[in-house]
Amino acid sequence: MPDAAATSLQVHPVLAAAERSLPDMLTDLERLIRCESPSADLAAIARSADLVAEIGASRLGTQPERLVVDGCTHLRWRVGSLDRAAPRVLVLAHHDTVWPIGSIDAHPFSIEDGVLRGPGCFDMLTGLVAAIHGIAALGPLFDAAVTLLVTGDEELGSPTSRKLIEQEAPGCVAVLVLEASGDGGALKIGRKGVSLYRVEITGRSAHAGLEPERGLNATVELAHQIVAVAGFGDATLGTTVTPTVAQGGTTTNTVAAHAAFSVDVRARSAAEQERVDGAFRTLESVTGASIAVLGGINRPPLETSAAEPVWRRAIAVAERIGVEPPEAIVVGGASDGNFTASLGVPTLDGLGAVGGGAHAAHEHVLVDAIAPRTALLVGLLRDLLALPDAEEPRPGTTRA
């Protein structure tokens, strides 16, 4: 009979395979980080897509479809069964980042003391690499399928990829989003919806010294409207309405004829998004200036009801393969998972890197967490697709 202590140290084959893949994952990740991909630079996004396609083809054994929409390059792999009745999981990732060209010089790729750094490493190039390697680890799929959709404009709100996402998600068993995790590796089971507005005000110009009474001051109206709009929030429901950028007037001695301000709205429910949207449509002028409201609901919320069942399966998988069971968190930021959850497709987010500093100079990834997170992805995919369990750990295979 095997020694109980030795048995307890055996590594599940899914985790062992991820650990063996880590050096290759780090190599792929360094290449992607060095190939800068700011969202608004379409040429850079195309170059990045070329590299993602090269890496993905080498690991998955097949070329992706290249989907160019309004000049922005997205990639799609459909792996496994072609039978439309076969269970399918959609895996979402993006290869664009917020970092402008040249950021790699100020924030070079590095791995020191178990911490990996470089522009876009946390949000979300590590998750993208994990997705590629994780799907490859499934091996041949005969009675199931996985779609990997890698978009190039997520950081801009997915204006050209949203339709692709919404076309791919229906009918899937679940959607897994490889965005970075929450603090401590928590999975994201809820995301607020996002609405974006611009309020434009038109008044009448006049000389501020000679005849200000002949003017109609758009900046004064702007002040009234900012106060009104800020009142649309509801802290008890987690609804935030935040005026952000404001402009008004032309010169210091002219009554402002035009003014405008932008507003960022975050809400946990679709009902709250609709309530706030309705409130914007009822804005009335205080001074007699004209008001135009542009924009509206951008991303619906990812409500916890769409994610909790998949999260609970992830906990069971984690316990089975011997990785830390993930906590759950609800966050204010949105992702492409918001779109799929609003379609009624079970969606779990935050399966990517463990680290921190998204969009900031201290962006980083914990290297020791990469293999366990990839193993969790593989195990969850196998569970969702009802694939046979991986073979038992080989005798003598123990944790390093």
State the Cα–Cα distance between residues 350 and 342, nearest whole angstrom: 17
Angstrom distance (rounded) from CA 301 to CA 297? 10
Say which of 30, 36, 154, 363 is annotated catalytic: 154
E strands along 192-270, which residues? 193-202, 240-248, 258-267
Catalytic pick among 36, 96, 349, 383: 96
The helix (H) or strand (E) run that includes residue 347 is: strand 347-348
Whether residue 369 contacts residue 180, with contact meaning beta carbons closer than 8 Å, is answered with no
Helix, strand or coil for residue 234?
Answer: strand
Gyration radius from the chain CA atoms? 24
284 is catalytic: no
Using an 8 Å Cβ cutoff, are 217 and 255 in contact?
A: yes
Active site residue 96: yes
Place of tokens 């950028």: 245
| List of residues 6+ apart from 103 with CB closer than 8 A | 36, 119
Strands (E), the chain: 65-69, 72-80, 88-94, 110-112, 115-117, 145-151, 174-177, 187-191, 193-202, 240-248, 258-267, 290-299, 328-331, 347-348, 355-356, 364-366
Assess contact for 177 and 169: CB atoms under 8 A. Answer: no
The residues that are catalytic are 96, 154
